[in-house]
Amino acid sequence: MPALSDPRTDLKPPLSGASVASSAGATAAFSPLYQQIKGLILNSLRAGEWKPGESIPSETDLAVRYRVSQGTVRKAIDELAAENLLLRRQGKGTFVATHAEQQVQFRFLRLVPDSGTRGSEGPAQRNIIECRRTRANADVNRALALRSGDQVLQARRVLSFGGTPVILEDIWLPAAPFKGLTAERLANYQGPMYALFETEFNVRMVRAQESIRAVAASAAQATLLTTAVGTPLLSVERVAYTYHDEPMELRRGYYRTDTHHYQNDVS
């Protein structure tokens, strides 16, 4: 191993909070080396240096690159794998997670059929009702951290399983990162919408937060979901985030739960 006298261009040594201000709180947080490495890897992911589905360099290579031991790189990758940003495959390498894989399709969709398993009803049919460009209202602006006046894309679609419409969704996206997205491209793409976002716009959804309520179907909703007005529906409001917790999508879903249910593990 090389001596540590060599200056590191990327990393600060993990020094403790020796900030100027000594009194009155405001102590600089101690940041371990592996957290700094994690941040650097995160930056490379966001910058697209390694694309979804591709492998990242081996642990030993990264250890050389960052001038730390393999164990430290390993711990950084461990956390990123636990957050589903990376995928380790023994003997093969470490890969950037993607929404395009067959195994984890609909990874963010918690709705499953009451009987049978996910996907047992065959592929979902996607039906784009509309897609337009507007200025968002205050609600949407707040959720997406936009300035008032910023443009957004709004889409509405229906997902059907086995021929039955089950999900009605309104989707809002900031217009800037999704420049060029049209109803046609949405309609023609086969596969999860988030996979299209990855390949076409270099936007990878990493985590999401959902707020769930029970509501009664309006006339419009009932029509699109071929059910009666007043039918109880699951209202699922989702904000999806990219790397570094940037909000990138607001989605308001209405789920029929007569043949499906929302499944959640809590611990």
Site residues for DNA per CB under 7 A: 1, 14-16, 30, 32-35, 56, 58-61, 68-72, 74-75, 88-94
End-to-end, the C-alpha distance of the chain in Å comes to 42
For a second copy, the closer of residues 46 and 57 by Cβ is: 46
Distance (Å) of CA 251 to CA 27, 155, 235? 39, 9, 10
Q: Which does 147 bind (CB under 5 to 8 A by kind): a second copy, DNA, none?
A: none
Q: Which does 93 bind (CB under 5 to 8 A by kind): DNA, a second copy, none?
A: DNA
- Minimum CB separation of residue 266 from DNA in Å reads 23
For a second copy, the closer of residues 121 and 210 by Cβ is: 210
Q: Which residues contact 145 (CB under 8 A, 6 or more apart)?
A: 246, 247
Q: How many residues does the chain have?
A: 267
CB count in 10 Å sphere of residue 23: 5
For DNA, the closer of residues 4 and 266 by Cβ is: 4
- Minimum CB separation of residue 80 from DNA in Å reads 11
For a second copy, the closer of residues 126 and 238 by Cβ is: 238
Would you say the C-alpha torsion 53, 191, 177, 235 has a positive or negative sign? negative
By CB under 8 A, name the binding residues for a second copy.
Answer: 82-84, 108, 110, 206-216, 230, 232-235, 238, 255, 257, 261-267
> Rounded CA gap, 208 and 78, in Å?
21
